[in-house]
């Protein structure tokens, strides 16, 4: 991983930490998994967010929007399902 990508990854993690309390207030959470070379961020939705019927809306209109507002170079935020 390049130093530039490592720095961007750290910034993504920081944004996720900032929005985490809002997710936790609704019984959910988010976990950073990875960011690939194409600047696609993978996260895992946890708790109530993991099985909520609105999880895709939370992911795209909440988490991804927050990340891209601060870090427009991020291509997208995707949810990893195990």
| Mean pLDDT on 3-21 | 95
**The two three-digit tokens of residue 5, written as one number:** 């990508």
Which tokens belong to 82? 């195990």
Beta strands in the chain (DSSP E): 28-35, 40-47, 76-79
Mean pLDDT for the chain overall: 92
In a 10 Å sphere around its CB, with 0-12 CB exposed, 13-18 middle and 19+ buried, how is residue 73 labelled? exposed
Calculate mean pLDDT across residues 46-71: 90
What is the average per-residue pLDDT within 6-25?
95
Percent of the chain exceeding pLDDT 70 equals 99
The top-level CATH class assigned to 3-79 is alpha beta
From residue 56, how far is each of 11, 40, 50, 62 by CA, in Å?
22, 16, 10, 9
Is the pLDDT confidence value at 82 over 70?
no
């Amino acid at each position: 991983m390049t130093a530039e990508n490592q720095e961007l990854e750290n910034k993504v993690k920081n944004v996720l930490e900032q929005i985490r309390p809002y997710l936790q207030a609704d019984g959910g959470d988010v976990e950073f998994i990875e960011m690939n070379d194409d600047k696609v961020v993978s996260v895992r939705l946890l708790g109530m967010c993991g099985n909520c019927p609105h999880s895709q809306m939370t992911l795209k209109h909440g988490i991804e929007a927050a990340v891209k507002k601060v870090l427009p170079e991020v291509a997208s935020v995707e949810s990893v399902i195990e």
